[in-house]
Amino acid sequence: MKNTKLEFSVGIFVMLGIAAITYLTIQVGTGSMLSGDTYLIESRFANAGGLHTGSSVLLAGVTVGRVEEIRMEPSDYSAIVTLRVLSTLRLPTDSMASIKTTGLIGDKFISLSPGADDTYMSPGSRITMTESAVDLESLIGKMAFGSVDKEKAQQETK
């Protein structure tokens, strides 16, 4: 009888632990662990390749937000990225947003670089100075095939 109560107590404890880990995993995965109030700002990129909803937004290496939405602007075929950032973050209007990669082939994230303007962005405003993602595959392809074309041209001139 005593063993049954002990086994039941351990089973309840294990189930509560699994439930807590599941809850925290979902919260971290959706980016809801950002503390405090947030607001939305937008940025326009020529190429947002590799960036996903839920990707991190960093300022000085510190996570200050998440990518809320990525959509295409039909008028000029650019990518509009909606960022959800902490309300305590006051970005100058001349701030810059860049798409960066963690490591050589890692995940993409948005890096914010604050400007020096005296006025600050309001919720819903758009960052105009952006730097798109670098397409590593096309760079490697250009280097590889560019070298082949140079060698072929040298052989033809001989």
Residue 31 or 86, more confident: 86
Q: What CA–CA distance (Å, rounded) separates 139 from 97?
A: 22
Q: What CA–CA distance (Å, rounded) separates 113 from 117?
A: 12
Which of the given ranges, 27-31, 46-50, 73-77, 127-131, has the highest pLDDT on average? 73-77
pLDDT tens, position by position, 60-105: 888 888 888 889 988 888 888 898 888 888 888 888 888 888 876 6
pLDDT tens, position by position, 122-135: 888 888 888 776 66
Q: Quickly state the pLDDT bin for 144 (edges 50, 70, 90).
A: confident
- The DSSP secondary-structure symbol of 139 reads H
Q: What CA–CA distance (Å, rounded) separates 54 from 65?
A: 9
Residue 27 or 131, more confident: 131
Where does 31-135 have alpha helices with state H?
Answer: none
Q: Quickly state the pLDDT bin for 17 (edges 50, 70, 90).
A: very high
Residue 108 or 140, more confident: 108
Task: Share the mean pLDDT of the chain.
Answer: 79
Tell me the C-alpha to C-alpha distance, in Å, between residue 149 and each of 135, 138, 144, 145: 21, 16, 9, 6
